[in-house]
A = this chain, B = another copy of it.
Amino acid sequence: MALIVQKYGGTSVKDAERIFNVANRVVEYYDQGHSMVVVVSAQGDTTDELIEKAKEINEKPSNREMDVLLSTGEQISIALLAMAIEKLGYPVISLTGWQAGIHTYSKNTIARIKRIDTERIKRELDKKNIVIVAGFQGINKYDDITTLGSGGSDTTAVALAAALHADLCQIYTDVDGVYTADPRVVKNAYKLDEISYDEMLELATLGANVLHNRSVEMAKKYNVNLEVLSSLNRNKGTIVKEVVNVEKMLVRGVARDNDVARISLINIEDKPGKAFLVFSLMAKHNINVDITLQSIGREDKKDISFTVAEHNLEEALKALQENKDVIGFEDINYTKNVSKVSIVGAGMASNPGVAAMMFEALYDANINIHMISTSEIKISVLIDEKDADLAYNVVHDKFML
């Protein structure tokens, strides 16, 4: 008799058939005696359609009104799922963000959850109702509707699980768990039974789209038992938790990211504070700098290379050019034709040989490494984009088979 929070994404509720698929799964758990809280996203393309409607009227609507508009998407989903569960003959009640007591900070469209007043949900659970909660939304202190930004529904689910001290938080998606690599690219990729919060965080950051960072961070903070699984089959999913068996496996997963560009600033004066100038400029433009490499100075000049997301490249170059004199470099060069391949695993920290194994795999495949970046549980290399798929496969197979 557990308290289980489930979250179903937009594709899982995109039409009547899928909604009944979800309804059946929910009542199956309910029939086993569990208390059920179910978070749903907006159906399929609803959010995009609403954004389209808004743009037709105002290219730059206020974030407040955007949230009033977008929050209707999840409200439609909760009503429809509740109706499906009613149809199956089970007691159910739907709650919008504000009805579920989800209070956020003020900032519209990217609001963070402040607290959850669980009183209403608990009352409904006591009445043996299945409780359906709209994901992605809450209210701020002005009683205005807010939305939580990308990954918002995952975050709602994890926050509810934390606030309700749920035994398990299941995130249903269209893949059946966390894989060692993207199975569409790496043919030997396989599903993990479990992964630690930290590893999941690194993989999420590196572009594995299974779970959003924010929800994993929150799960880690409140020690929520997470399970990632598919709404379309009955396979066991992947459990995300604090500690997993690190002995068994050095590397938990491999990631590849093609949305990468390299920028090099040539012949910067070799004086303290120059690198700081560059990176604070990027921060001011909200551009994340990833792998960085500083050449050893020759005479009084050096080069600084770093990577940014390819979709930030144009803005980064513009900002750098405008500040050429302040920063004091001679030239910029850049390329979009690079990719990043990373390995993630809590076991790495105590195994210095891991990096060498990765480089060996790449060397054997005749793949050139441009830049390297390492952390406690991650090693990333920058390579030519044309080598990315091959690198992804050989690195994966080196560690994971």
A96 interfacial by beta-carbon distance below 8 Å: yes
Q: Does A56 contact B16, Cβ atoms closer than 8 Å?
A: yes
A50 interfacial by beta-carbon distance below 8 Å: yes
Q: How far is the CA of A144 from the CA of B83 in the complex (A)?
A: 16
Q: Does B94 contact A65, Cβ atoms closer than 8 Å?
A: yes
Q: Does A54 contact B79, Cβ atoms closer than 8 Å?
A: yes
A20 interfacial by beta-carbon distance below 8 Å: yes
A131 interfacial by beta-carbon distance below 8 Å: no
Contacting chain B: which of A69-77, A296-304, A374-382, A387-395?
Answer: A69-77
List A24-82 residues whose CB lies under 8 Å from chain B.
50, 53-54, 56-58, 61-62, 64-66, 68-69, 71-72, 75-76, 78-80, 82
Select which of B57, B93, B143 is within 8 A of A83 by beta carbon.
B57
Select which of B61, B66, B83 is within 8 A of A62 by beta carbon.
B83
A120 interfacial by beta-carbon distance below 8 Å: yes
Q: Does A61 contact B76, Cβ atoms closer than 8 Å?
A: no
Note all chain B residues with C-beta closer than 8 A to A56: 16
Note all chain B residues with C-beta closer than 8 A to A94: 65, 68
Count of identical protomers in the assembly: 2
List A203-226 residues whose CB lies under 8 Å from chain B.
none
Given known A93-B64, A99-B143, A120-B143, contact A57–B69 (CB-CB < 8 A):
no
8 contacts between A and B (CB under 8 A): A54-B80, A57-B80, A57-B84, A58-B83, A65-B79, A72-B76, A96-B145, A98-B98
12 more contacts with CB within 8 A, not counting A62-B86, A98-B98, are: A57-B87, A58-B84, A61-B83, A65-B79, A66-B79, A68-B78, A68-B82, A69-B80, A71-B75, A72-B75, A99-B144, A120-B143
